Amino acid sequence: MPAFKWDEDKGTKYRWLVYGVPGVGKTTLSKYLKGKTYLLSLDESFHRIDFWKGKNDIWSIDPEKPIEDLADFVKAFKPDKYDNLIIDNVSNLQKLFFIEKARETRTGLDNKMSDYNEWTTLITRFIAKCFSWNINILVTAWEAQNKVTDPSGQEFMQYGPDIRPNPRDYILGNCDVVARMVQKPQTGERGLIMQGSIDTYAKNRLDGRKGCKVEDFFEVQDK
């Protein structure tokens, strides 16, 4: 099937979320994006990626003050100068947030119940702001197994992004494609699962593909 041409005037905005275990190649996947790309690194993994070495279009979050630094990014970033934005590893941002909030407690180790609501508000507002920009956005996250209950009341474990439930569901609902990135242990070949199942959360509302190789992920197909 012929692929859609990318709109040079950015009339079409795509939203992808890709999750997988650390080291499977989520950050490297970004090299297949077409056009000018900016990387918001939330875990500094780009240092180990050849594609990103020597590039200047990177904002690396300050782990000592992630909340303040994230706000500075939103103020400074110029979406009209780029075709794509990568929000790389929301799972790590989540961990940095709770570490920072714990520093404010007496022991420096505990989180208050209010911190969880604050995280939901912060990340939801941040994603909503980014998704309002006229730019393609790739969000990445680590993988986790989450307990899911079906309409009959049966519980089962399902792979999905390692993000707390409320903001996770907001991001999933606003992405066109959610894919789990996997690697074959025998060959090292990497691919993406794009169709959901009882044990894997995934969706693809752009075309009919159930999965693909990494190099083909951003090639949206005619239905």
Kindly tell me the burial class for residue 96, based on how many C-beta atoms sit within 10 Å of its own C-beta (0-12, 13-18, 19 or more). buried
For residue 70, tell me if it sits in a domain: yes
Residue 223: pLDDT band (50, 70, 90) is low
The pLDDT of residue 9 is above 70: no
The count of structural domains within the chain is 1
Provide the domain limits for residue 95: 15-216
Q: What is the dihedral of CA 36, 40, 44, 48, to 10 degrees?
A: -20
Angle at 73 between CA 71 and CA 38, to 5 degrees: 150
- Residue 137: the pLDDT is 98
Say yes or no to pLDDT of 141 above 80: yes
Task: Using the predicted structure, report yes or no on whether residue 28 has a pLDDT greater than 80.
Answer: yes
Predicted local confidence at residue 147, as pLDDT: 87
Q: What is the pLDDT of residues 52-101, one digit of tens each?
A: 998 999 999 999 999 999 999 999 999 999 999 999 999 999 999 999 88
Q: What value does the mean pLDDT of the chain take?
A: 91
Query: Do the domain assignments include residue 222?
Result: no
Q: Could you tell me if residue 8 is inside a domain?
A: no
Instruction: Specify if 51 maps to a domain.
Output: yes
Tell me, what DSSP letter sits at residue 153? S
Residue 108: its pLDDT value, please?
Answer: 72
Classify burial at 193, counting beta carbons within 10 Å of its beta carbon; exposed 0-12, middle 13-18, buried 19 or more.
buried
Residue 3 has pLDDT above 60, yes or no: no
Give the integer Cα–Cα distance in Å for 157 and 208: 26
Residue 2 falls inside a structural domain: no
- Position 102 scores a pLDDT of 87
Is 109 a member of any domain? yes
Q: What share of the chain is helix, strand, coil (3-state, %, to 5)?
A: 30, 25, 40
CATH number of the domain where residue 44 is located:
3.40.50.300
pTM, 2 dp: 0.90
Query: What digits encode the pLDDT tens for the residues 150-186?
Result: 888 888 999 999 999 999 999 999 999 999 999 998 8
Task: Report yes or no on 185 lying in a domain.
Answer: yes
Flag whether 52 is in a domain.
Answer: yes
Q: Which of 13-22, 110-119, 212-221 has the lowest mean pLDDT?
A: 110-119
User: What confidence score (pLDDT) does residue 105 get?
Assistant: 67
Q: What is the pLDDT of residue 219?
A: 92
- Which amino acid type is present at position 23? G
